Chains A and B, each alone.
Chain A
Amino acid sequence: MRHLPTQTDEQDMDMLEAWIRNSQIPSQSLSTKIMNEIGENTMKRTKRMKPSMLKKTVAAVSAAAMLGAGVIGTGFVSPAMAAALQNLPVVGSIFDNVDQDNLQAAIDQGIAATPNLSVTHDGVTLKLTELLYDGSRLSFFIEREGVELENTLVPWKGDNGVKGYLEHPKALADGQAIPFSEGSISEVPGAPDSFQVEYTKGISLPEAFELTVQAKVTGVDEIYEYNIPVSINNSALVLTPDVTKSSGGFSYTVEQLELSPVTTRLILDSTGKAPASPEQAGQFHASMVYYDLFDDQGNLLEQKRVGFFNEIPGTAYHVNELYAPVSEAVSSITIKPYTFTVNGSDWSIQGAADGTLGTKTYLPELEVTIPVQR
């Protein structure tokens, strides 16, 4: 016979709850330990970022997977590897850094679109919200709804049978896998239920094609599929200056500057050891050479991703980097090479603090201005 709870039973249960609440569990306060840990983490994490990027980067370091050699999503990088690469995506949205005029131009040319296609399976909705293709860079955003999980992408340790994590999506053009040499898949800083897929290098697609995105969610059998016709009027301006600048034993040749309404791409090759300033001696050394771009008004074009490598710089680099776009009216772009000063004992960047990646030592003798004629 089923027992019905009596008043005594109810009182006993209330007492049990009170006991739980007042459990005499011997434990010292953990606040000092926690605060020390937070202090250390904050130090590590703020060294290479702006305050507004703090959260973005924390999210991105743990989740972004820099992928190369045509392999996307075969495995997310472990935190240790991510820390070693220190590749910090500095994007918050596909259309970040794109001003209103450029965005309008991008929309007019079919480069930027907001398809907002929504597919739901088994209570989990994936919405493809933003799409960008400018002839050399393909990006899209997907938002997830219907589950509450800390991460969007499958954690590097595995999904542990949890439903709702996104596995790497496949992108097809006219039914064929899109070949590429470098791309990234990352959670979107500031948007907890979103992620971004981006192919940045080595893609070669026609100006019009049918894009198919196939996404998979852990614990859901069905595939999320989106079909989007893409047709762009590619007006990207490709400059091939083939100009070389040298100083000491270092030289670089600018092969290409590509200007689209949504991206500026710089491609160059360098040889030789980065020139060192007097401060870059002893335990300090110059990093590899980085390149800032400025428009003819002196505005810095923000670099999309600045990579730090915990190693002594090499003597030959092929640089292919993305920057914020320039306005249509720009008449020239100036390349200003620089180095960071690295402490060889722990690979820390000197001058890194809230608001700055580190102190830049510009190399004025290596600057060059590229005229832009449309």
Chain B
Amino acid sequence: MKPSIPGEAEGTHPEDIEAVVQRVQTGDRQAYTMIIRQFERQMYTYCYYILKNHAETEDAVQEIFIRAYEKLPQYTSQATFSAWLYKLAYYHLMNIKKSQSRWLKLIREVKEPPEPPVFSRESMIEELLTVLSVEERHILLLKAVEQYSFEEIGGIIGIKPATVRKKYERLRRKLVTYRQNQGGSARETFAHSNR
């Protein structure tokens, strides 16, 4: 059975999203379902490659959308809703990672064995991402998942667009170098999957 991909069946134009946001802001709570469906698949992907754990990703995605709902009265159209939402997600993920990096991580490692490795495109992506710093991962994922411009990414993570560009170029070089040092295994996988 093909897994269900949330949000795949529906697509809403950015300008329509702003209208939906306004509806929610004026009290139409149910309209928020449209917003969730529009963004949840990409949001899941973004969170998953940061958190690398499906249970945590589900929790994070839910929390992000709930927080966004609660904060929606504060949203103004200065940034796109999408960028606003991802900014919220970025800070949420940063907070999760920070708390993980302390004692929580130790507990999890003892209690929950890592998910078994599966040879798939996704596991290969995961492996490649381990080469990158947390900030680099965010930049790459925001670029990949939502195809944001450097300016938009800069707005989300709070650094200058020119710096984002530099960091982005550097991280791509890092990935290329890593693949070469891998002695061709990753390259073969790329080539194989590319056929």
Nearest CB on A from B25, distance (A): 11
Assess the A38–B66 pair: CB atoms within 8 A: yes
Assess the B6–A28 pair: CB atoms within 8 A: yes
Nearest CB on A from B27, distance (A): 9
A-B contact count (CB 8 A): 131
Assess the B4–A160 pair: CB atoms within 8 A: no
B62 interface neighbour in A3, A21, A34, Cβ under 8 Å: A34
B81 sits at the interface (CB 8 A): no
Assess the A9–B176 pair: CB atoms within 8 A: yes
Assess the A20–B6 pair: CB atoms within 8 A: no
B4 interface neighbour in A15, A28, A149, Cβ under 8 Å: A28
* Contacting residues of chain A (14-56) with chain B, CB-CB under 8 angstroms: 15-21, 23-31, 33-35, 37-39, 41-42, 54-55
Assess the B4–A16 pair: CB atoms within 8 A: no
**Looking at chain A, what size class is its interface with the partner chain?**
35 or more
B143 sits at the interface (CB 8 A): yes
Assess the A17–B144 pair: CB atoms within 8 A: yes
CA distance A192 to B73 in the complex (A): 12
Assess the B66–A24 pair: CB atoms within 8 A: no
- Residues of chain A with a CB closer than 8 A to B87's CB: 148
| Bitwise interface map of B from 13 to 52 toward A, beta carbon under 8 Å scored 1, else 0 | 0000000000000000110110011001110110011000
A238 sits at the interface (CB 8 A): no
Nearest CB on A from B166, distance (A): 14
CB contact under 8 A between A41 and B91, given known A24-B3, A24-B122, A29-B37:
no
CA distance A18 to B125 in the complex (A): 11
Assess the B122–A30 pair: CB atoms within 8 A: no
B134 sits at the interface (CB 8 A): no
- Residues of chain A with a CB closer than 8 A to B190's CB: 12, 15-16
Assess the B172–A3 pair: CB atoms within 8 A: no
B-side interface residues, number (CB < 8 Å): 57
B106 sits at the interface (CB 8 A): no
A27 interface neighbour in B3, B36, B67, Cβ under 8 Å: B3
B91 interface neighbour in A27, A31, A150, Cβ under 8 Å: A150
A148 interface neighbour in B36, B70, B73, B158, Cβ under 8 Å: B158
* Contacting residues of chain B (61-112) with chain A, CB-CB under 8 angstroms: 61-62, 65-67, 69-70, 73-74, 87-88, 91, 95, 98-99, 102
Nearest CB on B from A164, distance (A): 11
- Residues of chain B with a CB closer than 8 A to A149's CB: 91
Nearest CB on B from A23, distance (A): 5
What would 5 A/B residue contacts be, using CB atoms closer than 8 Å?
A: A20-B141, A23-B49, A27-B3, A35-B29, A42-B29
Residues of A bordering B, CB below 8 Å? 3, 5, 9-10, 12-13, 15-21, 23-31, 33-35, 37-39, 41-42, 54-55, 58, 148-150, 157, 160-162, 190, 192
